[in-house]
Structure 1
Amino acid sequence: MTSTQAWVAYLSKVELPVLANTLRRINELAESSNSTVNELANVILNDAQLTSQVLRLSNTVFYNQTRTQVSTVSRAITLIGFDAVKAMAISSLLVDTLLQRSDRPHLLKCLARALHAAVQARCLLPKRSAQALEEVFIGALLMNIGELAFWSCDTDQAAELEQQLLQGEPELEAQKSVLHCSFAEITRGLVDAWALGPFIRDVVAPGQARSPATSLVRHSVELARLSENGWRGPGMDPLLDKLARDTGQAPATLRDQLKINADEAAKMAVSMGIPEVTELLPGAQGPAVEDPPGPAPVRDPALQLEILRELTRTLTEKPDINEVCQLVTEGIHRAVGMERVALLMGDRSGQHLVPRKMAGRNTDAWKEHFVIPRDGTGKLGALLPSGTPTIYQPEATASGIPDDPWLGRVPALVGALLASGRLVGMFYADNADGNAQPSQEQLTAFSHFLQNAQLCLTILAKR
């Protein structure tokens, strides 16, 4: 690679295509309308590790100052807000993806700086609307995405640049010598290629800051770098004056606040399962190491009880069919332990049931091909439920659909949703290629969740 464009293409298409596509998808959700919450929940639920990370962060004081226990992704979005959960998802994806690829000291150092800067920007922002808080958090976190992406790759250039920096070469000169461009130029290219949004584009653009929030982010990133040499190190006092103008605080008061914020960054690092970076944060006290979150359990009766309680609360307060069905979908996926789940409702023609909510891996093809005629005909007509929830057993001659050889060909849980005795929708759940037979315990739990969705429909029908 001998140009910025070459590095951007290489990082986007060869080294980090999944991260690039997922970040792009999450950012595009901000422009979505009624289905924004559901789509974000589905993106998170498709990854068990990401689900665990988001729920862990949702129960930290940094995001959840009410200390209300959060046990589902949909509840986290409702209670804490779409923008906050989006920020959790982006930060968790970034950390997990990069650290799975490399443990280079430079990568850990860059991650520590990014997390520290993000926490500082969020805590220092004077006008604290929910959207603005998370905007500056993500802006600071991704301001050096080019450098983070580069150090996560096992390339000859990474080894060469690492060697030059160890020999004391100035950073910018070493970058241009080895990469034929700078990290800042790669970052600007990735921000455009990954569609990370106009605010981050302004943050990484050359020249004067275009807004107070942009200025705060840039100064927070600079603070994270300078603080590695101590709170009274070279360049810190002039930077404090700039931050004082950004925040409207006195420099002396601000210095104390910065130390508190750095401690918050250390706590967040532990919550995210990367306690090793706390040693790279200024004044870190080495908080106790927690085990990183593991994959979601196959079946979790305790979680099932938590979600059912949440459903009861929702039904007794102000029933909302969208929120109830999202909780039911998540409950079947995570608590009942089914690999893939879908809620199907009538289409505009009224002749077919089509997916409205989905959870689990390998469900993208369902958006176009998971169609069940109401009269029970067609390739998937046998899935149409009647009566109480049951375990669907496929015929030996059952056929699948394009891009999904298991749908209709593996055992599954199916259950109907009725309104005035008429079929209006259904829930479907299977274990994909695992071909595992759902147990009677899973069927019972599945039935409990469906009862809540049915109760919500009944309550709304009487209003």
Structure 2
Amino acid sequence: MTPTGTTQKPPQTLDEWAELLRVQEMPIFSNTAHNIYAALDDRNKGAIELATVILQDPNLTAKLLKVGSSPYYNPSKQKMSTVSRAIVVLGAEVIRELTLACSFFEAMLSSTNKDRANREIALALHAAVQAKALALSMGDTSPEEVFIAALLHNIGHIAFWCSGNPQSKKVHELIEKSGLNNREAEKKVLGFTLQDLGKKLSKSWCLSGLIEEAIAKPDSAEKRVQMVQLGHQICAALKSGKDSEAMQACLAKIAAFSGLSPETLKAKIDKNTLEAVHIARQFGANDASKFISTEAIIAKFEEAEEEKADKKQLQFQILQDISSHISGQIDLNGLFEMVLEGIHRGVEMDRTLFMLLSPDKQTLNEKFSLGWHKVALDQKIRIYNSEPSANLLFHALQQQEGVWLFPQQHHELYTPQIRQHIGEYECFVFPVYAEKKTVGLIYCDHSVHGLPLTREDFIAAKHFAKQAHIGLTLYCMKNH
């Protein structure tokens, strides 16, 4: 009712619908999203200012700390009991992803149209996880931005279908009974499409950058817009079935786009689907998770979670053994054997290799290896820094924190020497150093079973490589 007691006029035009949804239905986006974006975009503002914005919303604060502690966002399980600590641990970009996702879920889960809301949540989240995984696979500099752009890509559909406004309910019924396809029905009943509504809302909520670009220009040839679109296309193809023609066509399209093989993509898509189920549950969207995947796949996911717990336990035990070893008399051979076993068994790598750098820094010589199929046991890998451009391993030696490399993105690093002795596989490589001097490196991959590497794998392997650095440093200090 208006202040004068007359019935408020139902929305008729695109502008009226956008204003209704912006002000009455999802005001949380108007305030929280805008303030967070402003804080993040202002380079003069730091973690304290961003934390202040988030802390103004107690529900958002609680949800952010809960979800931010989940393995998907915090695989190293660092303790985060404050927002400012979460910003330090996760980084501003991940916080942007989380806060907008939390705001999105809070608005959606309060919807009166529960069934439709759950379907929209399921699609948005599933597409976001698939798009982000594709961005990570292709070495994108800000996969979190791709996640948010995919999550909010159908924001017009989401805001409209989840609206509790009586007028919108009537329109829902007219569209569903029209027998037309969605776009035609929307145009006939509303006079505009829900994609048009999304464009309006993204502007009024100040959702700029990739979010706005992907909504405004869905057919753009820009690589990152295509990642967003492909996230949604994967979900659409999966509805037809994993072995359907639609899915095969989708896989072929993504393979051509990314350089990944269809077999690798299938494994990644399955894993991402399960990941989306888990994240939906973390956000409290249990009902929506059922629209992402079947009960059978969810059961399979829960079994995988149990296996993951066993893997974590093994990692913990090996790390304890390493800590005990480096607290006493350090045997360097024993230290590196334990570190290599931790990565090989604890992180479940197919092949793991530790190489020492020669005094002239021109040759890498194998010291220990696990999982390599060799003709003779005493056969050792040796890589020279003799090619016109840096190869995979000598390139990695220059990167202090370790690298995650892909044949399709870093093709020039897979030189003839690397292809001959190691092959062309997605891999992690960590330089090993002591007292600021590089002494060698650790290489690992999933070359045998072809499973996709994950961010959690990278962080766990990096943690073991760090133990080698700590042990070496202590050894040098004790023996000076």
Q: What is the TM-score with the length of structure 1 in the denominator?
A: 0.58
Asked if the contact 1:161/1:174 (under 8 Å) is kept, the reply is no
Which residues in structure 2 correspond to 1:383-394 (within 5 Å)? Answer: none
Deviation per CA, 1:349-372, whole angstroms, max 9, x where unpaired?
A: xxxxxxxxxxxxxxxxxxxxxxxx
Change (3 A) 1:234 1:95: farther
Shift of 1:207: 5.6
Gaps of 5+ in 2: 1-10, 301-480
* Whole-Å separation in 2 of the counterparts to 1:36 and 1:47: 19
Amino acid at match of 1:180: G
Shift of 1:257: 0.9
1:180 and 2:191 aligned: yes
Partner of 1:224: 235
* Whole-Å separation in 2 of the counterparts to 1:157 and 1:219: 33
1:249 and 2:279 aligned: no
Shift of 1:165: 5.0
Q: How many residues in Structure 1 have an aligned counterpart in Structure 2?
A: 289
Change (3 A) 1:162 1:9: closer
Deviation per CA, 1:6-65, whole angstroms, max 9, x where unpaired?
A: 221221233323322221121222221232322221222122221121111221111112
Shift of 1:209: 1.9
* Range that drifts further, 247-256 or 114-123: 247-256
Amino acid at match of 1:268: I
Deviation per CA, 1:286-330, whole angstroms, max 9, x where unpaired?
A: 479xxxxxxxxxxxxxxxxxxxxxxxxxxxxxxxxxxxxxxxxxx
* Whole-Å separation in 1 of the counterparts to 2:256 and 2:37: 30
Give SS of 1:66's match. coil
Residue 84 of structure 1 is aligned with which of 81, 94, 97? Answer: 94
Give SS of 2:110's match. helix
1:171 and 2:182 aligned: yes
Shift of 1:117: 0.7
Amino acid at match of 2:246: G
Asked if the contact 2:102/2:283 (under 8 Å) is kept, the reply is yes
* Whole-Å separation in 1 of the counterparts to 2:299 and 2:198: 32
Partner of 1:74: 84
Shift of 1:234: 4.9
Amino acid at match of 1:162: H
Which residues in structure 2 correspond to 1:102-121 (within 5 Å)? Answer: 102-121=112-131
Which residues in structure 2 correspond to 1:132-281 (within 5 Å)? Answer: 132-164=142-174, 166-167=176-177, 168-206=179-217, 208-281=219-292
Partner of 1:329: none
Asked if the contact 2:111/2:117 (under 8 Å) is kept, the reply is no
Residue 46 of structure 1 is aligned with which of 34, 56, 59? Answer: 56
Partner of 1:388: none
Amino acid at match of 2:47: V
Which residues in structure 2 correspond to 1:328-407 (within 5 Å)? Answer: none
Deviation per CA, 1:107-143, whole angstroms, max 9, x where unpaired?
A: 21011100001111111213445x6111000000000
Residue 38 of structure 2 is aligned with which of 17, 25, 28? Answer: 28
Give SS of 1:209's match. coil
Change (3 A) 1:286 1:252: closer
* Whole-Å separation in 2 of the counterparts to 1:85 and 1:175: 35
* Whole-Å separation in 1 of the counterparts to 2:198 and 2:118: 18
Amino acid at match of 1:146: G
**RMSD across aligned C-alpha pairs, in angstroms?**
2.4
* Whole-Å separation in 1 of the counterparts to 2:219 and 2:113: 35
* Whole-Å separation in 2 of the counterparts to 1:68 and 1:202: 35
Amino acid at match of 2:37: N
Give SS of 2:77's match. coil
Residue 27 of structure 2 is aligned with which of 17, 25, 43? Answer: 17
* Whole-Å separation in 1 of the counterparts to 2:58 and 2:68: 15
Percent identity, aligned pairs only, is: 28
Give SS of 1:39's match. helix
Point out 4+ residue stretches in structure 1 off by more than 4 angstroms: none
* Whole-Å separation in 2 of the counterparts to 1:234 and 1:196: 35
Change (3 A) 1:163 1:48: same
* Whole-Å separation in 1 of the counterparts to 2:166 and 2:280: 30
Asked if the contact 1:228/1:281 (under 8 Å) is kept, the reply is no
Change (3 A) 1:81 1:14: same
Deviation per CA, 1:249-302, whole angstroms, max 9, x where unpaired?
A: 1122201210100000000011111111111013454479xxxxxxxxxxxxxx
Deviation per CA, 1:65-119, whole angstroms, max 9, x where unpaired?
A: 2122222211111011111011111101111122213243222101110000111
Amino acid at match of 2:14: T
Asked if the contact 1:122/1:134 (under 8 Å) is kept, the reply is yes
Asked if the contact 1:8/1:189 (under 8 Å) is kept, the reply is yes
* Whole-Å separation in 2 of the counterparts to 1:156 and 1:234: 40
Q: What is the TM-score with the length of structure 2 in the denominator?
A: 0.56
* Whole-Å separation in 2 of the counterparts to 1:64 and 1:184: 34
Gaps of 5+ in 1: 289-463
* Whole-Å separation in 1 of the counterparts to 2:245 and 2:15: 35
Asked if the contact 2:251/2:265 (under 8 Å) is kept, the reply is yes
* Whole-Å separation in 2 of the counterparts to 1:128 and 1:89: 23
Asked if the contact 1:269/1:277 (under 8 Å) is kept, the reply is yes
Shift of 1:191: 1.1
Deviation per CA, 1:212-265, whole angstroms, max 9, x where unpaired?
A: 111011111122233233223352222222222332211222012101000000
